[in-house]
Structure 1
Amino acid sequence: MYPKNDYVEVVLAGQPDLYGPSWLPTTLIFILFFASSLSGALTSYLHLQSYDYDFSKLSLAVGLVYVYALALPACIWAAMRYWAGVEGRPIPEIINLYGYSVTVFIPVALLSIPPFPFLRSIMALGAFGLSLGFLVRNLYPVLAAAPAKTARILLIAVVGLHV
């Protein structure tokens, strides 16, 4: 996922879909649970211990990923529209940006199955950087052109909430 300069204008071209932003977070949830379970089972096997599936991790993943991919963009859109005065991005475009920004975490979750914590951390940081770069490159031009100069504070919120 290479962060294009203006994904909304070039790729979406005024016609955002909600297919990707609904299926990509759902895929990420199941891949996270699968990778976590397989990694735990592998670690238990290597230490000659039994492994019990932890379904609370699935519930946690569902909550976190859907809040990040659906509720957070709605809040960002509301803040952009009603606080910063930005009217250039409708809510489906913001949801689209956040939905597609989780794409890079799918291969990283699969590559994190082997029990190498340092490698996992490096891959997670790389995915974090790519995902954040994608969001910033697509939100900054709109926020920079906003009538309220305090709109740039929203960019700090986007970065902070991405962590």
Structure 2
Amino acid sequence: MTRRVRRSVSGHYAGAISRAAAAAIDGLLIAGLYTLGVAGFGYLLDMFTSTSLTGDRSTLLGIAAFAIWAFSYVFISLAITGRTIGKGLTGLRVVRADGTAPGVRTMFVRTLVFPLSVIFFGIGLLLIVVQREHRSVHDLIAKTCVVYDWGDRSAEMPGPLSDFLNRAQSDSPQP
């Protein structure tokens, strides 16, 4: 009987499903926390000044405030820990293309150019599916990539997948 070796996924490029799940979690957090913040600020403003946040000019102000909040959430999270809450929950981390930890400037550029991946119906995000390293336009510009990183916890591929990869590795000719 052969001993089953389970391969670790830490350090491998993150796929589209994992990245989409992380983005969905972050999107819900960004929208939810923004909504709570605006509601709390509106309540305090009304209580102390008897003024309301609604009006003709509030829409543009609201869009600008939301964009600043979303940028701040992503940039500060990435600059401090290399991941957002969504990425942390799904076991992902942003690293430089060479695998080293990125600096604050790199994370700023990555966050700033993220809209380039989304405009034109998300064509820039399609690179995650078709490119070998699963890097999108904002990853390519910032010279970053997203990898699985579970820290001290071990995250392993399921047994059948590990078995397949182990067989494929033992069948391939060694140089």
What TM-score, normalized to structure 2?
A: 0.33
Structure that is richer in strand per residue: 2
Between Structure 1 and Structure 2, whose CA radius of gyration is higher? 2
